Structure 1
Amino acid sequence: MTENPIRETEHTTTVQAPAEVAYALVADVSRWPETFPPTVHAEIVEREGDAELIRLWATANGTAKTWTSRRGHDPRQLKVTFRQERSQHPVGGMGGAWVVEPLSDTSCRVRLLHDFHAATDDPADLDWISRAVDRNSASELAALKAAAEATGSQELLTFDDTVTVEGSGKDVYDFLNEAQLWRERLPHVARVSLEEDEPGLQILEMDTRTKDGSTHTTRSVRVCSSATSIVYKQIVLPALMTLHTGRWLIEERDGGGVSVTSRHTVRINTENITAVLGEDATLATAREFVRTALSGNSLATLNLAKTYAEGIAGERKRP
């Protein structure tokens, strides 16, 4: 047991939605990247009954972190407990609980509890963790409230673009993973910066050209799984979006070659539609505009990855 000081915090919010709705959002980690701004990606590593081991990738005070947590579900009490199994420095250990308390048939209170200690006895590390917990807890509770109170709008959309490649999945993956080379490889990328302090966990910042010649800046956290998948979440977004998560997925095909899919999930920023697209623009206009722009860039990237991988395949076949 640690001798370093343990700090406890509690953050709360009131949600105008049934308690079961709020609890479902907490319990289903697959929806966390869409629901909670700090969460980039979440995976269930193992599950048995009401217990599960999850791995999370998230931002904390502007940096990208990953850890695993044990969670216990209590659907009768509308409570989910958690305890980090492997924390990242400067966190020495962390746990807590989500507690959903019904106030009426249509409202509830959500309490987010944390206890934590630093990996060192340096008070600055404990203060850093406290700031991260305060910032992320406030962000997560506000996002949970917004998601639970949403009434099925058409602001969220998901779509795929796929190409087939007569080449190696690893070569496709290398093209997508080596984003530091995208300025030379992709005509729509005007500037790129890639940070990778931990293998497979990248922070990618890009200036992307639009059809009218202007550029916009995006910043993403990317989780890269060797030769199969790159999952990302934009943490600096264009004005028309409040959420953009994505995945590059590489799948082997029967008979050889691979299918490569670019998947986007986007939430439209309805407050900026007319400012960006004009007074006559609607939500439908914005959805079509965003889908066209993202699909255009994705297909350009996919086709260049295809050319790259098939070119290498052709070189390998030469005597």
Structure 2
Amino acid sequence: MSVERVHRMSYAVDAAAPAGALYTLVADVTQWPLFLPDTVHVERLDFDGVADRYVRWADAGGELRRSLVRRTLDAGGRRVLFHEERPDAPVTASGGSWCVEELAPGWSRLNLEREITLDGGRAAEAERAVARAEESAWAALGGLRVAAERWRRLDELTVSFEESVRIEGPAEPVYEFLYGVGSWPGRVAHVLEAEVSEDRPGVQRTRLVNLADDGSAYATEGSRVCFPAAGRIVFKRTRPHPLLAAHAGEWCVEPDVSGVTVSCRHDVLLDERAVGRRPGPGAEPAAELAAARRYVREVVGRESRAVLEPATRYAGDPVRTLRSV
């Protein structure tokens, strides 16, 4: 009979940001795909203001893994307790806490305490699990620190929007088209090449070569998690458009009695180093940022519409409405 082992880990990082701003980023898990490099998608299942429960898809050691987490949030104490439900073997239990300390005006410290219990009979797997946990912890601390230090302009650096199309036709062929991203070259105007691999059915890795509006080509890479029964595909571009630091979103196919609504939601984080490329050298920072927001909204929106248009033809029915929200 193997003996379980408890592994305790403690991490901390200082940020040039107010404690309240840093705590807000820890508490709002829905924004983690934009700030945490390993996080592909987070979906909150329950939230009552004090306790929440969410599903997180994240890259762990080159494999996309799903975790189900419960948390208790203490906004006054800037502390979050968490516990993972049904962790993957060889981990038998996993939990810990986030805590934000104010060091001085405009400076704060983020502490992460983790405790995982491991099956003692699986030494090699246990070592890999500890290494994955440590890599994830440092990635989270680093991502949250960088985001917190942009707190004054973070709202201006993030852009969220949705494109949708109304189709009088069945949902199944539309979802099939969106799922089959490997078939997009020659069918989607800006996609020149597409490579797709599946870790397991419905969990995809993609690499696309895209045509930019100036005639040049650029590559994007990403992860997608597909839910056929719900008509959803959530995604994150781990190598996004050159003007973006992060890009996540969701394709959704919603049937009703008269047809189907197909939508694509985008959440993007502008890359500050690239913002100066719009509208040109010498522009005021505010003008550069506003121009970059408009340009990204235009380019990313046009690309998603370029996918939606052939999807409607694939369904075999005419487009009735095309709109942006």
Q: 1:104-183, aligned counterparts within 5 Å? A: 104=104, 106-118=106-118, 121-149=121-149, 150-153=151-154, 154-183=156-185
Query: Which segment is superposed worse, 124-133 or 54-63?
Result: 124-133
Task: Supply the distance in 2 between the matched residues of 1:309 and 1:120 (Cα, whole angstroms).
Answer: 53
Query: Is the CA contact (8 Å cut-off) linking 1:118 and 1:125 kept in structure 2?
Result: no
- The residue type paired with residue 292 of structure 1 is E
Q: What does residue 268 of structure 2 align with?
A: 266
Change (3 A) 1:92 1:190: farther
Query: Is the CA contact (8 Å cut-off) linking 2:51 and 2:70 kept in structure 1?
Result: yes
Change (3 A) 1:199 1:90: farther
Change (3 A) 1:198 1:83: farther
Structure 1 position 234, deviation (Å): 0.9
Query: Is the CA contact (8 Å cut-off) linking 1:8 and 1:113 kept in structure 2?
Result: yes
Q: What does residue 30 of structure 2 align with?
A: 30
Task: Supply the distance in 2 between the matched residues of 1:184 and 1:89 (Cα, whole angstroms).
Answer: 43
Aligned pairs, number: 311
Q: Which runs of 5+ in 1 are unaligned?
A: 313-319
Structure 1 position 292, deviation (Å): 2.3
Task: Supply the distance in 2 between the matched residues of 1:291 and 1:88 (Cα, whole angstroms).
Answer: 39
Q: 1:301-312, aligned counterparts within 5 Å? A: 301-311=307-317
Q: What does residue 292 of structure 1 align with?
A: 298
Q: What does residue 197 of structure 1 align with?
A: 199
Q: Structure 2-normalised TM-score?
A: 0.85
1:256 maps to 2:258: yes
Query: Is the CA contact (8 Å cut-off) linking 1:247 and 1:263 kept in structure 2?
Result: yes
Change (3 A) 1:177 1:118: farther
1:232 maps to 2:238: no
Task: Supply the distance in 2 between the matched residues of 1:241 and 1:2 (Cα, whole angstroms).
Answer: 48
Q: Structure 1-normalised TM-score?
A: 0.86
Query: Is the CA contact (8 Å cut-off) linking 1:203 and 1:222 kept in structure 2?
Result: yes
Query: Is the CA contact (8 Å cut-off) linking 1:59 and 1:65 kept in structure 2?
Result: yes
Structure 1 position 113, deviation (Å): 1.3
Q: What does residue 323 of structure 2 align with?
A: none
- The residue type paired with residue 181 of structure 1 is S
Q: What does residue 209 of structure 1 align with?
A: 211
What percent identity do the matched residue pairs reach? 32
Task: Supply the distance in 1 between the matched residues of 2:10 and 2:143 (Cα, whole angstroms).
Answer: 17
Task: Supply the distance in 1 between the matched residues of 2:297 and 2:96 (Cα, whole angstroms).
Answer: 39
Query: Is the CA contact (8 Å cut-off) linking 1:93 and 1:119 kept in structure 2?
Result: no
Query: Is the CA contact (8 Å cut-off) linking 1:239 and 1:276 kept in structure 2?
Result: no
CA deviations 1:39-75 (Å, max 9, x no partner) are 2111222346733322111112332111112222233
Q: Which runs of 5+ in 2 are unaligned?
A: 319-325
SS at match of 2:101: strand
Task: Supply the distance in 2 between the matched residues of 1:131 and 1:8 (Cα, whole angstroms).
Answer: 12
Query: Is the CA contact (8 Å cut-off) linking 2:278 and 2:291 kept in structure 1?
Result: no
Query: Is the CA contact (8 Å cut-off) linking 1:90 and 1:129 kept in structure 2?
Result: yes
Task: Supply the distance in 2 between the matched residues of 1:247 and 1:302 (Cα, whole angstroms).
Answer: 13
- The residue type paired with residue 251 of structure 1 is E
Change (3 A) 1:88 1:266: same
Query: Is the CA contact (8 Å cut-off) linking 2:232 and 2:252 kept in structure 1?
Result: yes
Query: Which segment is superposed worse, 79-88 or 113-122?
Result: 113-122
Structure 1 position 2, deviation (Å): 7.3
Structure 1 position 122, deviation (Å): 3.9
1:6 maps to 2:6: yes
Structure 1 position 88, deviation (Å): 2.8
Change (3 A) 1:251 1:14: same
Structure 1 position 217, deviation (Å): 1.5
CA RMSD of aligned residues (A): 2.7
Task: Supply the distance in 1 between the matched residues of 2:241 and 2:46 (Cα, whole angstroms).
Answer: 36
